[in-house]
Chain A
Amino acid sequence: MTGAILLWSVAAAQAMLVAAMGCCTYRLIFGPRAQDRVLGLDAMYVSAMLLVLTIGIRTGSTVYFEGALIIAVLGFVSTIALAKFLMRGEVIE
């Protein structure tokens, strides 16, 4: 019984996280300005990381943890690079 509750609520959480990624994708595509797109990308990375974590809970497998960590690191670095680019027009000075 509790197992079914867990599976259903994880499925609902995954649906919510996918919807969150959809909202961020809208910001990523429709801007209106470059900083809005970068903000959308950053929020999308966080939602994707949480989605991978919920997949890990759903399957009971621990390998998804490393994937989530890598997504978090990549999201951080890419957002930093894009923000630098917005400020100066180049990434490496």
Chain B
Amino acid sequence: MSHAQDLPGWAALATAALVLLGAALTLIGAIGTLRLRSFFERIHAPTLGTSWGTGAILLASIICFSALGSRPAVQEILIGVFISVTTPVTLMLLARAAIYRDRTEGKGEVPPRAAPRRPD
């Protein structure tokens, strides 16, 4: 726990604020998966954690390790890029799976296909 005393004051405060912000956003998103009523409403909730929740904590990590001087910390950007590219893919696939299941079972408020698909 000695590294916390080595940090300059502004870096410690910025890290603390950003970590709290990111964790709070992630928690609100997780609460959203509990409280919202239908699946398509719930699919919006995790994006809170994956957009600015992740972004704030990564920024805190960058500030913390750059100020400690152990490394010029930019590796966290890799996680940021990775998360922001992969989250839409997973959520899109999940939404398509859900809409497919709803349509085959014929329930839910899902609108029908916009146009008949051309034969591939």
27 contacts between A and B (CB under 8 A): A2-B13, A3-B7, A13-B20, A13-B57, A16-B23, A20-B30, A27-B42, A35-B98, A39-B42, A40-B33, A42-B94, A43-B33, A46-B54, A50-B22, A50-B49, A53-B58, A53-B76, A54-B19, A54-B57, A57-B60, A57-B61, A62-B65, A65-B76, A72-B83, A76-B90, A79-B94, A83-B93
Q: Give chain A residues whose Cβ lies under 8 Å from the Cβ of B34.
A: 23, 26-27
CA separation between A62 and B69, bound complex, in Å?
12
Q: Give chain A residues whose Cβ lies under 8 Å from the Cβ of B110.
A: none
Chain A proximity of B12: nearest CB distance (Å): 4
Q: Is A42 in contact with B83, judged by CB distance below 8 angstroms?
A: no
Chain B proximity of A91: nearest CB distance (Å): 12
Interface residues in B18-36 by Cβ distance below 8 A to A read: 19-20, 22-24, 26-27, 29-31, 33-34
Is the CB of B115 closer than 8 A to any CB of chain A? no
Chain B proximity of A69: nearest CB distance (Å): 6
CA separation between A86 and B99, bound complex, in Å?
11
Q: Give chain A residues whose Cβ lies under 8 Å from the Cβ of B94.
A: 35, 38-39, 42, 79, 83, 86
Smallest Cβ-Cβ distance to B85: which chain A residue: A76
CA separation between A80 and B90, bound complex, in Å?
6
Q: Give chain A residues whose Cβ lies under 8 Å from the Cβ of B16.
A: 5-6, 8-10
Known: A5-B12, A87-B100. A16 touches B46 (CB 8 A): no
Chain B proximity of A33: nearest CB distance (Å): 7
